[in-house]
Amino acid sequence: MKTEALQIDLAQKILAIKDNSLLKKISNLIAKENIAAYGSNGEPLTETEYVKQIDEVINELENGIDKGSTSEQVFKNISSAYNLE
Protein backbone atom coordinates (compact mmCIF):
# COMPACT_ATOMS: atom_id res chain seq x y z
CA MET A 1 0.00 0.00 0.00
CA LYS A 2 1.37 3.41 -0.92
CA THR A 3 2.12 5.86 1.85
CA GLU A 4 -0.76 8.23 1.06
CA ALA A 5 -3.29 5.39 0.93
CA LEU A 6 -1.96 4.00 4.21
CA GLN A 7 -2.24 7.43 5.85
CA ILE A 8 -5.84 7.81 4.72
CA ASP A 9 -6.72 4.30 5.85
CA LEU A 10 -5.16 4.84 9.28
CA ALA A 11 -6.78 8.27 9.67
CA GLN A 12 -10.22 6.79 8.93
CA LYS A 13 -9.67 3.99 11.44
CA ILE A 14 -8.46 6.41 14.12
CA LEU A 15 -11.45 8.71 13.57
CA ALA A 16 -13.77 5.73 14.08
CA ILE A 17 -12.25 4.77 17.47
CA LYS A 18 -14.44 5.63 20.44
CA ASP A 19 -12.28 4.01 23.14
CA ASN A 20 -10.31 6.82 24.82
CA SER A 21 -7.71 4.46 26.30
CA LEU A 22 -6.95 3.04 22.85
CA LEU A 23 -6.61 6.58 21.45
CA LYS A 24 -4.15 7.41 24.25
CA LYS A 25 -2.12 4.28 23.40
CA ILE A 26 -1.96 5.37 19.76
CA SER A 27 -0.96 8.88 20.79
CA ASN A 28 1.80 7.53 23.06
CA LEU A 29 3.10 5.27 20.28
CA ILE A 30 3.27 8.21 17.88
CA ALA A 31 5.03 10.34 20.51
CA LYS A 32 7.59 7.57 21.06
CA GLU A 33 8.39 7.32 17.36
CA ASN A 34 8.07 10.97 16.31
CA ILE A 35 11.40 12.75 15.75
CA ALA A 36 11.02 16.00 17.69
CA ALA A 37 14.59 17.31 17.72
CA TYR A 38 18.20 16.45 17.13
CA GLY A 39 20.82 16.09 19.82
CA SER A 40 24.08 18.00 19.99
CA ASN A 41 25.79 15.23 18.02
CA GLY A 42 23.10 15.28 15.34
CA GLU A 43 21.35 12.13 16.54
CA PRO A 44 17.56 12.15 16.15
CA LEU A 45 15.56 12.40 19.36
CA THR A 46 12.03 11.14 19.68
CA GLU A 47 9.51 13.35 21.43
CA THR A 48 9.77 11.11 24.50
CA GLU A 49 13.59 11.32 24.58
CA TYR A 50 13.52 15.07 24.01
CA VAL A 51 11.06 15.69 26.83
CA LYS A 52 13.14 13.43 29.11
CA GLN A 53 16.30 15.44 28.36
CA ILE A 54 14.53 18.74 28.97
CA ASP A 55 13.13 17.40 32.27
CA GLU A 56 16.64 16.31 33.32
CA VAL A 57 18.07 19.76 32.59
CA ILE A 58 15.24 21.46 34.50
CA ASN A 59 15.81 19.09 37.43
CA GLU A 60 19.55 19.84 37.42
CA LEU A 61 18.90 23.58 37.34
CA GLU A 62 16.35 23.36 40.17
CA ASN A 63 18.72 21.29 42.30
CA GLY A 64 21.74 23.47 41.60
CA ILE A 65 23.65 20.71 39.83
CA ASP A 66 24.08 22.66 36.60
CA LYS A 67 24.94 26.27 37.17
CA GLY A 68 24.82 26.90 33.44
CA SER A 69 27.48 28.25 31.16
CA THR A 70 28.20 31.77 30.09
CA SER A 71 28.01 32.53 26.39
CA GLU A 72 31.81 32.86 26.43
CA GLN A 73 32.16 29.33 27.86
CA VAL A 74 29.76 27.94 25.26
CA PHE A 75 31.67 29.65 22.43
CA LYS A 76 34.97 28.33 23.81
CA ASN A 77 33.56 24.77 23.94
CA ILE A 78 32.26 25.01 20.37
CA SER A 79 35.53 26.51 19.16
CA SER A 80 37.52 23.70 20.77
CA ALA A 81 35.24 21.01 19.39
CA TYR A 82 35.58 22.30 15.84
CA ASN A 83 39.21 23.44 16.09
CA LEU A 84 38.27 27.07 15.51
CA GLU A 85 40.75 28.50 17.99
Angle of the 20-33 helix axis to the 47-62 helix axis, nearest 10 = 80
Task: Write out pLDDT tens, residues 22-58.
Answer: 999 999 888 778 888 888 788 888 888 888 888 888 8
Q: Can you give the residue ranges of every domain in the chain? A: 3-81
Question: What pLDDT is attached to residue 9?
Answer: 96
Question: What pLDDT is attached to residue 18?
Answer: 97
For residue 40, the surrounding DSSP H or E stretch is none
With contact defined as beta carbons under 8 Å apart, do 36 and 50 qualify?
yes
Average model confidence (pLDDT) for the chain?
83
DSSP-derived secondary structure letter, 71: H
Distance CA 83, CA 73 (A): 15
Of 43, 19, 45, nearest to 27 (Cα)? 19
- The pTM assigned to this predicted structure is 0.48
